[in-house]
Amino acid sequence: MKTFQEFGLDPKVMQAITDMGFEESTPIQELAIPIALSGRDLIGQAQTGTGKTAAFAIPLIERIDPASEKVLALIMTPTRELAIQVSEEIEKLARFKGVRTLPIYGGQEIGRQIRALRRYPQVIIGTPGRLIDHIQRKTIRLDDVQIVVLDEADEMLDMGFLEDIQSILSLVPEQRQTMLFSATMPTNIQRLAQQFLHEPQHVSVIPKQVSAPLITQAYIEVQERNKFEAICRLLDMESPELAIVFGRTKRRVDELAEALQKRGYAADGLHGDLSQNMRDTVMRKFRDGSIDVLVATDVAARGLDVSGVTHVVNFDLPQDPESYVHRIGRTGRAGKEGTAWTFVTPREMDHLHFIEKVTRHRIPRRPLPTIAEAVEGKQKMLAERLLDLVDNEEHNEFRATAIQLLEQYDSVALLSSAMKLLAGGQKNEVTVELTPEEPLRARRRRPDVRHSSGRRMGSSGDRRYGGSSSGDYRREHRTGGSSISHHATDRRYVTQTRRDGYTNER
């Protein structure tokens, strides 16, 4: 791999890269940076977590004049979360050169964005819907744009932004550099590239195996009514440092996050109906470790890049193979290992086999953790926490009371009681309710259709796009290709618990 020194970058840009601890480029950076520095149009095929943001950000910063008061670069992203993350990374890389950036997205007060635009940012990162809003208000002018980046272009088109993207690109000067990055290259992406890119150079670092090799994958076959007990056992047995649990609908996320909280887990939910402030608060808590279980929908999790996620759990099977790859890709990043578990009901086995076929990866079956394994895992985690406190000597203020208690009570009984208290005490006995979800069924399709396009080819009724400029779309309430009827969703089941916090298999 090339070192960043070999690219001949501006010393101020190199200083930022060095301060961030980067020395060698990733494969996509090694291929893309020289092309981007030359000013040629570029198509980069790479998945999230491969370093693609720096692959276009470093050349962009290198070529931007920090003295300009015009918008010189425009980056379009599918979601507000990704817009924020790209903006933060560019700010880090540009801090010594003085290039100004601004993320523009729905869900944030537009007046605040208009005031920020008066500080003359040279780089704007935004979702297509909110960019259109500013263009119509004449608060953003694109007459001087020299560089355009379409980040995660396949996601933007899947979310129904094609017309917005075409409208925006038609307003940018023809004499510009355009870079398009996408994990897949379906026909609609190819048409977009033909329409707006001029003799682009194509670079690709997609591995032969779609799923990341550093991620250990497994599935558990479990009845819908037993899923909650299964997730509790799994979290106790695995003791993840940070885990993302995916639910299919907003209702599922709300109910599951609340149920986990009642059982004593540090969990919170994330979905498209939350306000931007609430979403930011949840993500801040997840990043700083205040919560260690994030329950999310596919829509809310798109573009998330949180370091240190050790586990992903598909509480509900995703609707398509692309979503499966995207979900499990939240772990196993930056060369670290990760674990992905998937719950599959018996009626969904055909759908799981379809995911295996498309991703070209066999997902091994694992048994549901036993009560004994869950209890052992939880006790091991609690013992490690106690030993950490002992080693760090963060307990001196309790020594006097501890000595008094040891004089009156058995030491083993005291330590056992302390561990039970840390484990959540009586919370394991709480009864919870979850609304059952209809099972997914494998779609019937010709084998060549799926591989030729790289995306779903279902009927138009399979998708619902919202008119929001925030970048959210309304696939979260769909199951399979049809809506869930009220008489089906209003049924609720109650999980009865024993004193140890788990139910027997039913």
pTM, two decimals, is 0.52
pLDDT at position 455 is 36
pLDDT surpasses 50 at 504: no
Model confidence at 54: pLDDT above 50 = yes
Assess whether pLDDT exceeds 70 at residue 442: no
Q: Which residue has the higher pLDDT, 57 or 371?
A: 57
- Reference 197, options 172, 167, 177; nearest CA is 177
- 147-151, 199-203, 236-240, 484-488: the lowest-pLDDT one: 484-488
What angle separates helix 371-392 from helix 227-238, to the nearest 10 degrees?
Answer: 40
Q: Which of 421, 379, 368 lies closest to 229, judged by CA? A: 368
For the chain, what percent of residues have pLDDT higher than 70? 78
pLDDT higher than threshold 70 for residue 489: no
User: What is the pLDDT, as a whole number, of residue 479?
Assistant: 35
More confident residue, 429 or 195: 195
Res. 38: pLDDT tops 50: yes
Given a cut of 90, whether residue 220 has pLDDT beyond it is yes
pLDDT band at 482 (very low <50, low <70, confident <90, very high): very low
> What pLDDT is stored for residue 376 in this prediction?
77
| pLDDT above 80 (res 447) | no
Rounded Cα gap, residues 66 and 63, in angstroms: 9
Question: Which 8-state DSSP code applies to residue 414?
Answer: H
Work out the average pLDDT over 58-78: 95
Give me the phi and psi of 292, to 5 degrees please: -115, 0
pLDDT at site 204: 87
| Phi, psi dihedrals of residue 494, rounded to the nearest 5° | -110, 130
Q: What is the pLDDT of residues 380-391, one digit of tens each?
A: 766 666 776 677
Mean pLDDT for 20-28 is 83
**Residue 398: pLDDT over 50:** yes
Q: How many CA atoms lie within 13 A of 5 on its CB side?
A: 3
The DSSP symbol for 289 reads T
Scan for tokens 């940012």, then name that residue.
Answer: 121
Q: Supply the pLDDT for residue 251.
A: 92
Report the alpha-carbon distance of residue 177 to residue 198 in Å, rounded.
9
User: Rounded distance, CA 108 to CA 102, Å?
Assistant: 13
Q: Is 447 exposed, middle or buried (0-12, 13-18, 19+ CB in 10 A)?
A: exposed
Mean pLDDT (the chain, rounded): 80
503 vs 297, higher pLDDT: 297
Largest CA distance in the chain: 83
Nearest to 215 by CA among 295, 334, 318, 306: 334
Q: Which domains does the chain have, with CATH numbers?
A: 4-204 (3.40.50.300), 207-395+427-506 (3.40.50.300)
Q: What pLDDT score does 144 carry? A: 95
End-to-end CA distance of the chain: 54
Write the pLDDT tens digit of every residue in 337-360. 899 999 999 999 998 998 888 778
Per-residue model confidence as pLDDT tens digits over 100-110: 999 999 888 89
As a whole number of angstroms, the distance between CA 61 and CA 123 comes to: 9
Which of 347, 316, 319 has the alpha carbon at shortest distance from 480? 319
